Amino acid sequence: MRDHKGLNEIASIIRKDIVTMIHGAKSGHPGGSLSAVEILTALYFDEMNIDPTNPKMEDRDRFVLSKGHAAPVLYATLAERGFFNRKELDGFRKLGSMLQGHPDMNKIPGVEMSTGSLGQGFSVACGMAMASKLDSAPWNVYVLLGDGEIQEGIIWEAAMSASHYKLDNLIAFLDYNGLQIDGNIEQVMNVNPIEGK
């Protein structure tokens, strides 16, 4: 596989940080975090218009981790990109640390939306994209969903809204790993065929 701008090496560092954080905390979601590494690496190191020294830059692109339980991938990516000191990763899920089990936009530089309740992140991302369009702003909104998460009805309401309002500045990624907390998605609540929906 051709390495583009050193992204393979960056992804490898992020993977190691995820495993180290979750092992250190003895808690977390390794599968859902590791399965999203390439997506966040490409976005944060190649695609998005962002500035780690100015996390609230007005015309920045926005990223929403709708599947908030995969916070370790976001934390490791933000640290590697320079939004905060990498030493903060050592405090993952520890009392008093800014890096808890779900992202907190009030405590962590670079986090655009506090997420955890599945489905709400996608709805907020649609609202952000609509605001960008209404303001004729140049920024895009990227959102990462989990396949277990798309069992939530709020996801489909947001998707209908995105279609209706022609939010072509909203880019959604579905991390389709076939699992949710209770097992295989096809056995728990089959969402297929996804492409048709």
Domain ranges in the chain are 7-188
How many Cβ atoms are within 10 Å of 67's Cβ, its own excluded? 31
Structure-derived torsion over alpha carbons of residues 140, 36, 77, 51, reported in degrees to the nearest 10: -10
Instruction: Identify whether the C-beta of residue 68 lies closer than 8 Å to the C-beta of residue 33.
Output: no
Instruction: Identify whether the C-beta of residue 111 lies closer than 8 Å to the C-beta of residue 102.
Output: no
Topology of the domain comprising 7-188: Rossmann fold (3.40.50)
Instruction: Identify whether the C-beta of residue 141 lies closer than 8 Å to the C-beta of residue 64.
Output: yes
- Secondary structure string (H, E, C) spanning 139-160: CCEEEEEECCHHHCHHHHHHHH
Is residue 184 classed as helix, strand or coil in its secondary structure?
strand
Q: Which of 13-17, 38-42, 108-112, 149-153 has the lowest mean pLDDT?
A: 149-153
Q: Please check the confidence at residue 36 and state whether its pLDDT lies above 60.
A: yes
What's the confidence (pLDDT) of residue 194? 74
Q: Please check the confidence at residue 175 and state whether its pLDDT lies above 70.
A: yes
Confidence band of 179 (pLDDT split at 50, 70, 90) = low
Mind listing the pLDDT tens digit for each residue in 39-68? 999 999 999 999 999 999 999 999 999 999
